[in-house]
Amino acid sequence: MKPEAYFYNQIKSAIGDICHLQRIETSTALGVPDLNLCYFGTELWIELKITKHKTGDYPLLTPFQYAWGIQRLKHFGNSLVLSKHLPTNTMNLRTFRSIEHKRQKRFVKIISPPDLVLEGITEQGIREFFCNNLFESGALKEEGQA
């Protein structure tokens, strides 16, 4: 199983019983995030990334993925980048509002620090991460208020 599919399965196991999750796999709509979830009527789009660099977690997006997230933000939608840094087993969340980036050949490299970090990824940790930081705090609505 590829690391990104395993990461998705970790998220699904942790929160699949408290929200509706839909994995998106499309080659026809460029830039659409990997995961859509709905929690009590609020939708969230998540681009999943796996990073392996020993020097830190700096996910790469395609220009289409970056443009999709920014366009969604402009229309008050909720779109995030959630990366798993394999060397440190951490999960890092960045909202499109806070992303700083630079072009790197054909990609957009995120260079800003994460908004939220979960160290030592476990199923319980992922559940608490989502519940405490996104679902219950109202962070989903805050992200969409550009």
The candidate with the shortest Cα–Cα distance to 23, out of 40, 6, 72, is: 6
- The whole-number mean pLDDT for each consecutive block of 10 residues of the chain, a chain of 146 residues, reads 93 95 88 93 93 87 96 92 94 92 92 91 92 70 47
Task: Give the C-alpha separation, 52 to 55, whole Å.
Answer: 9
Contact (Cβ atoms closer than 8 angstroms) between residue 82 and residue 48: yes
Tell me the angle at which helices 3-15 and 123-130 cross, rounded to the nearest 10 degrees. 70
Count of beta carbons in the 10 Å neighbourhood of residue 52: 10
Domains of the chain: residue spans and CATH: 3-144 (3.40.1350.10)
Residue 140 confidence (pLDDT):
54
CA 40 to CA 54: how far, in whole Å?
A: 38
pTM: 0.89
* pLDDT value of position 53: 87
pLDDT at 146: 43
